[in-house]
Each structure stands twice: as structure tokens, then as C-alpha cells.
A and B are shown apart, each in its own frame.
Chain A
Amino acid sequence: MTATTETTSFAVNPERSVDLLRFATAGSVDDGKSTLIGRLLYDSKTIFEDQLESVEQVSKDRGNDYTDLALLTDGLRAEREQGITIDVAYRYFATPKRKFIIADTPGHIQYTRNMVTGASTADVALILVDARKGVLEQSRRHTFLATLLGVPHIVVCVNKMDLVDYSEDVFEQIRTEFTEFASRLRVPDLTFIPVSALVGDNVVNRSDNMSWFDGSPLLSHLERLHVASDRNLMDVRFPVQYVVRPQSHDARDYRGYAGTVASGVMKPGDKVLALPSGLETTIAAIDTADGPVSEAFPPMSVTVRLADEIDISRGDMICRPNNTPAALQDIDAQVCWMDETAPLVKGKKYAIKHTTRWARAMVKEINYRVDVNSLHRDEEATEIRLNEIGRIQLRVTQPLFVDPYRQNRQTGAFILVDESTNRTVAAGMVGGLPHSA
């Protein structure tokens, strides 16, 4: 564990070559998730000397035989004391090829909301399976949640291979069982990697103990994963976030619509349609503070100027005339309930936020509640409680411009907010379940 002073080459040209990959991890106390992340950070030389020293000291104080890399990521005091992870923690590391953002979430069923939060923006879900225990209920749950949230890639790390003598049979058995289960879900890309986070096999460095495995170690896999095509570049959706109208003399006539491109590629000259007005015009220019650009695509934040003066304000949506989202007041959705103080019940009203638009919504119906372990649907359910998933029908006070979540993770998503407590109480996805069981 000597200190290293290597300069990683990503610093040389940060602007052009390096892209961003977000991945979510889910796992419970003893499946080695924190150790795996600690290993990724440690072997990719992201850990600082003072962090490592502090972890080595604590490990020694506790009488551990090895440096407990899990300590690197267990943040809050309550977690350190109880040895658990109770929230979503974000970690960062970079290699010459990519910058990674890890949403590290606890795996227990009572933390389903944390997993949903972490998965909502993830390109990849990392699921840990203990090689000694095989595919457990929680592995199924994590996979279900990842597919529910539309995570396009799933990587299953079969961990603790050192404790099963690096057995190919064990690995294959788990792979078969997992694949069979996953075939019931909509998993676009599924990869299996046998690892030992504790020892470091196949995390960053290829393992000498598993020559039978011809795939990549985890880090190389994450570095090479093709995520660009996961983004929706077909359907232009530009939720207007803010209207830029300078109060200065030289820019008095400027009127620009600022926002983040949710999907699609926009270019000056494109014919566009604004919702809810339905009026058509063309894009005059796409501005940034660094000057106009020739195109805008997700997740760029830009300011769009239009050829004609039409009335557009925050919450409106700019799209193409022949490709518009549905303007709906009656919404069929999956929700994950996130509030511990009160359940979702029929007839209750909430504030709803969809893209940049707020409205009010009433729960018209609860169709069913899903058991996140068995995927069984309870159609008698009358409420959805903390960490439960259900399918509901909402009536919204004004039209929302939605796409099915499966086609668009931006315009298919919404949150519900309790109007009296202001708490964010639900994550919602427009459309049906991500599997056709």
C-alpha cells in the first residue's frame, strides 16, 4: 500500500475525450458492495493518502486482518456506528477513458426508495450476488427496480469468488438462474462478471485465479460500455425552463427560451411546435453563453430563439410538428412511494412536477400493488406504502406533455409532492410495467 504519484493522463485533455457514465449499485450489508466500490476507487488510484491512512487506522483499531475498504464509503456517523448504508451516496472516480459517478444505495427492502433514486439517472446498474448464496430475493428485487427505472445496462458481479474456490460451475449456475429470471423482465443488456472485491479479482485487474473467464474485468467493461445510443435522439422534446429577457438597453429585444434538451437533436431552421398553444414556427438560433451552436442534443442546456413571437412560458414544451408528446390529463403510471408519514390513497390530491411544469393531481384509482420480490400483483390493494410500487390512474388539473417512460426517461417521469408537508412522496413513470408477465 505504498503511495503513488502517477499522473493519470486524463488531466491532459479533459475537454474532449472523456465522457460521463453514471452507474448505480445496490447491495446489502454483507454482499461486499462497499468493498467493491472501495476496490474500484483504490485500484483506480482515486483514494487519497489521508483517506487511506484513516481507514487503515480504523481497521487496525477494530482488529481487522485486512484494510476494510468498505470504510471508505460509509459516510454518516450513524452508518459507521451501525455498519450500514442508509442513504444514497455519490462517489466519483475517473480513468483516462471516462469519468464515473456512482450512486451507491443500500439494498434492503426498506431502502427501495433509495435504489429508485439512484437508478433514476443511471446508465448502468451494478448488481451484486454473493457466490456462496446465489440469486437471492434481493437480487431479483434490484433487477426489477433497475428495469422499472429503465436502466439500459445491467452488470451482475458474482462476488466472493475466492470463497467458492473460483469455481466456474458456481458462476455458471448463477448465470443460468439469473438469466432465466431476467428473461421475464425487459433487460436490454445483461453482463456477468466473477469477482472478488476483497482480493481484487476482476475488479480493475484481470484475475489470475479465473482463467476460465474470458470476459473483461469490471472496470474495463464499464470503460468500454457503449451508452451514447441509449439516449433518445429521435424525439425532439425541449421543456421550457426559463424565459431569458435581458433588462438592458443593448439586448432589449432579446427573447430566448432557456432549457435542457430532454431528447432529440435541435438545429436552427428546424420547424417546431410549441405546446400547449400548438403554434408552429422555426428555430432562429440556439444560443449558449459561448455563442450560437449548430445543434443541441441531450443533456445540453441552451437558449432557443424562435423566428416568430409566440407566447411561450415555463412549463411549455417545444417539439416537432410531426412528432409530439401526448397531451394528457388522465395518466396511467407506475409509482414508487417514498413517504414514511402517509401512504398513497385513492382520492388524495398531490402536487405533480413533470419536466418543468407543476400541476395538481388526484389519485383516481389504484390498479394494483406489485410485490417487489415476487412480482406478484395485488389487485385488492387500497393503498401504497413506503417503498412499495403500484400502478395508479391520475387525473391532472392541466395537460402534461408526456411520452411513455420506456421511450423517454425525461418526459415519461414525474414526482408527486405532498401539498401540506412539501415532501417529495413519489417517483412516477408514465405507462405500464416494464415487463409483459
Chain B
Amino acid sequence: MTAHVLSQLRSLEAESIHIFREVVAEMQRPCLLFSGGKDSIVMLHIAAKAFAPARIPFPIMHVDTGLNFQTVLDCRDRWVERLGVQLVVASVQDAIDRGLVREEPNGSRNRIQTPVLLEAVEKNGFDAAFGGGRRDEEKARAKERVFSFRDDFGQWDPKNQRPEIWNLYNGRVHQGESIRVFPLSNWTELDIWSYIEAENIDIPDLYLAREREVVARGGMLYEVNEFTPLREGESAETKSVRYRTVGDANLTAAVESTASTLREIVEETAAVRLTERGATRGDDRVSEAAMEDRKREGYF
């Protein structure tokens, strides 16, 4: 402490806290987009720190694809209970039933959750939504602002973003427009894991390696469960695997790993040679520009 140098993790945490407070001070009605994944959990953990000893002064919103791992939902509910935060659920299944969106042939609900999200943002009058996106995740995100401006269609225009100079954020919007805010912009996957370990943060146990029944499909390993049952001619095997990202249960693949503790995950993450999205998300493999297209449509 005497050198007055903050460690990089604490610097990142301080920056994230600053961002949360700035948004709450300046925006009318923010919410936090909570997926149940590790990034949104870290985001929630830091939000709680930013306003302590008061409660988090905004609701969290879960876009429920209906394809969730049960342990992810359980973890979400523990967090809601622990922090006394208001939970808003926007249901993709409900939106399908209402005809707002249509199921895609490949079974992915990743793309169709965007209209559901935008509808819920509009219905609830949210003018700011915190997202757990990180700039190290993918090339299209490397240029994302911390305060990302969205027009009244919820769309992102990479050519029309506000310059962000120093830490002087500009969240001013007109009626109907909104901002996405990314408090974890400058964190890397390794930072996230190091922080989860340092703070002993409650995450779904899917992230930890265990012996699981899996099937190999298209070069990826999927757990055999109600979302991904065995197909004709396939056979399951038992392997020690864990999840590096948690998306839809029918499309998120596991990776072979023996990292069963947070410490081991940090070590594995430091050594791993594949990006987390490239390794486990079938939905991001479509094209190099896949993420950029989804962002334009209003995805995170």
C-alpha cells in the first residue's frame, strides 16, 4: 500500500465500480443484463460493491431462452436472494408462442433472443443496460465503447459511436434511445477467473471439471442431457469436462479438463491456447463476421 500502486485486478475493479456509479447517477432507469454466465455474475458482484452498504439500485434482467442449464438457474436465484435485487425475466419461449420470433432451424435461440431483449428493454423503459461483454472476447468487440450508443431500434452502428476520452462518459440519449454499458470492457478471461478466485465468487458448477457423459459432435463435446440427447448411431462416453462459457444448453460444448477448483481453472486459463468462444460456442463459428452482424442487430 505504501507505494500507492493498485494491482491490476483492483484497478479493473475500481474502473468497473466507477462505471456503475456513473450510470446510476446519470441515467433514468438502468438494468443489468444477467445471463447466468461468469461474466454477468462478476458484473453483479461488482455492482453490489459499488453501492454498498446500500442495495443495488436497479433490477437485473434475464433473457430466458428456455434452454438453460438448471444449475445456472439455481445459481441465478441464489444471487437474487442474496442481494435482494429485483429480477425481470424476458421469456424467449413466450415470445415464440406469441409469434414475435420464430424458432431457427438449427435450434439456436441465440439470434432470436435479440428481439425479445429489445422488446423487454422498451416495455420496461430501460434507458441503460449493463452487459458483461469484454473487448478481449472477439475482434468486433475490441472497438466497442464502454458506453455503447443504441438508436431507437436498439441497433449498434460501429461508424457512429461517441468518442470516449479519459473517463468522461456521455450517456445522454433522446427519448427511445438507450445505451449499453460494459463495465468489464477491459477485463480478460484470465482476469475474470483470477477475480472469481480472489473473491471466492459463487458460480454455476458447470464451470468446474467433473466426470460427465458426453458425445463428440463436429469436433466438439456435448454433454448428454435433455437438451442434447444421443442421436441415432452415436455413443456416449464419460470424460472429465468443464464449460468455459455457458450459453444455450443445446449448443454449448464442454472442453476436456481436469480443472475442478478455481485455482486450477486460473492455471488452465493462463495456459490454454484457444479462445473461449472459438472453443465452445457453435453459434459463433458461423463466420468471421458473425459477432459483428449480431451486434448490429442489437445483440450485446
- A16-B7, A20-B11, A121-B166 as given contacts; A289 in contact with B269, CB under 8 Å: no
* Pairwise interchain contact A18-B165, C-beta atoms closer than 8 A: no
Cβ A76 vs Cβ B271 within 8 A = no
- Convert B15-51 into 0s and 1s, putting 1 for each residue whose CB lies closer than 8 angstroms to a CB of A: 1011001101100000000000000000000001111
Interface membership of B1, Cβ < 8 A: yes
Number of residues on chain B facing chain A (CB within 8 A): 69
Residue from A48, A228, A295, A424 in contact with B275 in the complex, judged by beta carbons closer than 8 Å: A48
CB-CB under 8 A from B163, the residues of chain A are 113-114, 116-117, 338, 424, 427
Contacting residues, chain A, for B165 (C-beta < 8 A):
116-117, 120, 413, 415, 424, 427
B54: chain A residues at CB < 8 Å are 244-248, 251, 254
Contact call B53/A241, Cβ cutoff below 8 A: no
Per-residue interface assignment for chain B, residues 157 to 172, with 1 indicating a CB less than 8 Å from any chain A CB and 0 otherwise: 0100111111110101
Contact of B198 among A5, A14, A233, A260 (CB under 8 A): A14
Q: Is there contact, CB below 8 Å, between B49 and A7?
A: no
Scan residues 291-329 of chain A and give those whose CB is less than 8 A from a CB of chain B: 294-295, 297, 299-301, 303, 314
Cα distance, A120 to B167, chains bound together (Å):
9
Interface residues of B (CB under 8 A from A): 1, 3-15, 17-18, 21-22, 24-25, 48-55, 135-136, 139-140, 142-143, 158, 161-168, 170, 172-174, 185-186, 188, 190-191, 194-195, 198, 266-267, 269-275, 278-279, 288-289, 292
Further 18 A-B residue pairs, CB within 8 A, beyond A244-B51, A353-B170: A14-B7, A16-B7, A18-B7, A20-B11, A20-B12, A50-B274, A76-B143, A113-B163, A120-B166, A121-B166, A251-B53, A297-B6, A299-B11, A299-B18, A300-B6, A353-B168, A422-B172, A427-B165
A-B contact pairs, 15 of them (CB 8 A): A5-B273, A14-B195, A77-B289, A87-B161, A228-B5, A244-B53, A248-B54, A260-B18, A288-B49, A289-B48, A294-B1, A300-B14, A356-B22, A409-B166, A422-B174
- What 5 A-B pairs have minimum CB-CB distances, sorted nearest first? A11-B270, A289-B49, A14-B194, A246-B54, A50-B278
* Residues of A in contact with B (beta carbons under 8 Å apart): 3-8, 10-12, 14-20, 48-51, 54, 73-77, 87-92, 94, 98-99, 101, 113-114, 116-117, 120-121, 228, 231, 233, 241-242, 244-248, 251, 254, 258-260, 265, 287-290, 294-295, 297, 299-301, 303, 314, 338, 351, 353-354, 356, 409-410, 413-415, 417, 422-424, 427
